[in-house]
Structure 1
Amino acid sequence: MKRHFLGFCLAAVLLIGVFCPLARAETPDFPAQALVLMEASTGQVLYEKSAHVQRPCASITKVMTLLLVFEAIDAGTLHLDDVLTASAHAAGMGGSDIWLKEGEQMTVDDLIKACVVMSANDAAVVLAEAVAGSEDAFVERMNARAAELGMNDTVFKNCNGLDEDGHITSAYDVAVMSRALMQHEKIFDYTLIWIDYVRDGQTQLVNTNKLVRTYDGILGLKTGTTSAAGSCISAAAERNGMRLIAVVLGAENTKDRFSAASSLLDYGFVNWKLTTPELPELPELPVTGGMVSAVSLECEAPSGVLTASGDAEIGIKLILPENVPAPVEPGNVLGTAKVALNGDTVQSLKITAKTEAPAITFSSALQYFLACFFAA
């Protein structure tokens, strides 16, 4: 009897392992000191390990540098075809660079390309000096922008990520600034480059992010390696309309870095999905005391709802009054559309007037009566 019971237990364990593989994937582990997986549109963290432990992040620092550069481009204070001149300070950078000489000139476009693809420290400094006047002033802006984004674990000391005492961040903060950079779609023109050239073809650039060639749906984003930081990456990818950011800090080597990032992204795409609910048809809303009897409505577009893969009930409930008094002008908020996930509200959308309904006045009523009289 005891032998039969043990056999039954073993069979049960095997069946659970075969038919419930996701149970084993609920607490995955990947080879790195700190990890974060974030969904880009919502900012929701799907997986984390030592997410707020402060660490150096090497050249992933350049994510913030690039964010400020693209914000300057958007503001019109910097342009892709601007020609910048390398200072002695920029030319003196060590580590990964494109060997800029003092006085050498290069366009903003090529400097961004070198900064992203080759992780060029000298190019990053030239860009920083162009935006803020000096690297020190630029670093002040980096820290101010980090504070605005809620990056409470971060202190920047330079614009390129070279090891320096007190230059620290966290996996979570890296995901936050990566998400902000990804709002500038132009960045993907650079992060998806595999091989390109600057200096009229004399200098070849080869992307340090090998996932650009190997991972389905990859968008970039930035690698980094120093002795203090270890091997790091912020990897972004998109599948089925969902963008994920996988941050890996402190891997032992580049192989572990890329393996952890791709496995983390796989985990996210397998276990999560983004669904955009469809708005129901909006009724006309009756108007009291108006020159028209009803107004047409329009509603803000719902954003994607993040759910674990599997069954999830998403619905939209319209909350509107029975009628609304005149006058009504286009854009007036008249109601709300509540987006619910499994009964819990996750989004509240404004329902506004699309058409107008002027209030009835003596003169408007008289004009209406005369118009009807003469039309007859």
Structure 2
Amino acid sequence: MEKKILIDCTLTGGRGPAKKAAEFIWECQRRSINYFLLTDLKLAERFKELDIKPDQVLNIDFNSADKEIYSVFEKNLRLIDFDLLVKFGARVPGPYVARALGKPYIIIDGGLPDRLEQYPSLYDSETYFNAEKYILTTNFPWKPDLTPRFTNVKVCYFPISKKTQKFVNLLKTKKKSQIIRSVSKMLTNFPKKYDLVINLSMTDDYVQYKSRTTYGAWLKTKQYDQTVGFIRRLITDLALIDDKKKVIIMDSAISQIALDLYGEFRNIYPVTWKNKWDYYTEIALDRIADFTISRAANYQPFIYALSQGTNITTPVPADGYMNEDSAAIQASALGLTKLITYDDSDYVQKAGEFFNNSSEIKAVARKQETNMNVFGKKSGTIEEIISYFECI
């Protein structure tokens, strides 16, 4: 009988896990690898945006009690025939049940777990420690701080399918003006005249009330306040530093955080999704931006793949969230990004100095290209999973 991978993409925030799962699925399809996609109601919408149909959707969310969530997984996973479970995201009810069934499992996330607890917590430490692999997805040779029992961690480049790599290569050959014309149908009106295009790379989950722990989700009050405060200060300071006309590309909910500011500052032009988000358009935005501000050092795979050298990393939420502060320091030390903290009073001035320093930008671009050719090609997430799967 043909072996099967159970892809578990449930109980996680943002678009990142769904994108990673999609890249892996596209490569499974290309290689004719048998898989079964399991997700939840919220993430089913993300997969719909990616034109991927889940095989099963569980009726669970962050508001469900932990024991209730485990009960749903125990009931459903026993009915699915699989040889390996691959979990995208850090919460582990699926891997826990796979372990109870004697099935191997791999956990994939962009950071280490926020906490290590005991069952029935969704962060069961024994489930992490007993995974065949805990793959940390990133875009550079990150060296995270690990507890002694975390001996199964493997740092790998964000999964990129052959399909997506072909698209990235095509973007490199096109002029920015061509790309803007091709993606404009997906975005709200781009002004005819502007001086600067900034892409704020952040998922709108980080500014929505339903993502807060108050409503059963994962974002602490301080983390939410850090994010909202940073966005409003950024837009205000970009407007006041000079009279240049600036286009800021943002997710819809992020743009709405500063609605009152656009009327006050006439040199800021917010651009967002016209109707729905589109994955490949999002990748193209990294190409057309004069510079990109990314909230996570470990989530810049296409910025690095395009190797333009114009990226600023600003960890927010900060103060240890998903190890992103320390990751940003490491990436900056390797010359792969410009690091500016979210609470820097001179943030916009420092961003402007970086943007006007062509020699620094070229140096970052060269480092990114080398990183892609070495770490990117030799440490891919997809190959790490499939090489294990082929051996079981």
TM-score (norm 1): 0.24
1 or 2, which has the higher strand percentage?
1
1 or 2, which has the higher helix percentage?
2
TM-score (norm 2): 0.23
